[in-house]
Amino acid sequence: MSRFHIHDDLTAPEASAPVLRGATAAGGQLPNFLGVLAGSPAALRAYARFRSELRHGRLAPATLERIALAVAEHDGSAPGVAMHTRAARAVGLRFDEVQMARRCESKDAREAALLRWIGALLAGGKPRMHLHEEAREAGWDDEELLEAMAAVALERFTAMVNVAGEVPVDGSVEESRTLSAA
């Protein structure tokens, strides 16, 4: 059971409701993570803005999903792994690539170089210079590497809420949601 209340657009603080309605309209179902984050309108708005800006950056959606999978796996976020597995498949990643991304690997040499660099970020925060050079040689420029770091930060925040809040995987039975809907 989640340590935080999982809101919907009817139970959320008034300032969170517009963001939740937008998320529900875009995705059809409100992810439990967003329902939890709705408990703080400021945190929800900041998250939504951060994610929106990264989606308008230079990194391809498949790259962002690979990064999200690597972070969710590293940080032990079952909801993150489940959500990003679905999202990765929706942007065209094959099942084997999804599994590899969870281990900071890829069959694509360019993506693999970035994921090794990301893995070092996750492990200690400062990738060794050879990993930085390898990512550069694979074709990643400063703008893309900085966006990748931003994506790691956003996904680590998501994983932190999911893990510390014991947020259930979407689609699972959640007692607090069932009771509030009754």
3-47 tens-digit pLDDT? 999 998 889 999 999 998 888 777 677 889 999 999 999 999 999
Exposed, middle or buried: residue 14 (CB in 10 Å: 0-12, 13-18, 19+)? exposed
Identify whether residues 40 and 87 lie together within a single domain. no
Residue 170 included in any domain: yes
Rounded Cα gap, residues 143 and 102, in angstroms: 23
pLDDT digits over 114-128, tens only? 999 999 999 988 899
Arithmetic mean of pLDDT over the chain:
91
Identify whether residues 51 and 92 lie together within a single domain. no
pLDDT of residue 180: 45
Identify whether residues 175 and 100 lie together within a single domain. no
Identify whether residues 171 and 141 lie together within a single domain. no
Q: The CATH number of the domain where 123 resides is what? A: 1.20.1290.10
Rounded Cα gap, residues 68 and 101, in angstroms: 9
Position 174 confidence tier, pLDDT thresholds 50, 70, 90: very low
Residue 5 included in any domain: no
Residue 79 · residue 170 · CB < 8 Å:
yes
User: Residues 126-146: what's their mean pLDDT?
Assistant: 96
Domain holding 176, by residue range, is 17-55+165-181
Identify whether residues 34 and 110 lie together within a single domain. no
Task: Indicate if the pLDDT at residue 164 is higher than 90.
Answer: yes
Identify whether residues 50 and 81 lie together within a single domain. no
Identify whether residues 173 and 129 lie together within a single domain. no
Q: Is the dihedral of CA 102, 103, 105, 111 positive or negative?
A: positive
Residue 9 included in any domain: no
pLDDT of residue 117: 98
68: CB partners within 8 A, 6+ apart: 80, 84, 87, 88, 151, 155, 158
Q: Model-level pTM greater than 0.75?
A: yes
Identify whether residues 67 and 144 lie together within a single domain. yes
Identify whether residues 152 and 173 lie together within a single domain. no
Identify whether residues 96 and 159 lie together within a single domain. yes
Percent of the chain having pLDDT more than 70? 93
Number of domains in the chain: 2
Identify whether residues 106 and 137 lie together within a single domain. yes
Residue 130 included in any domain: yes
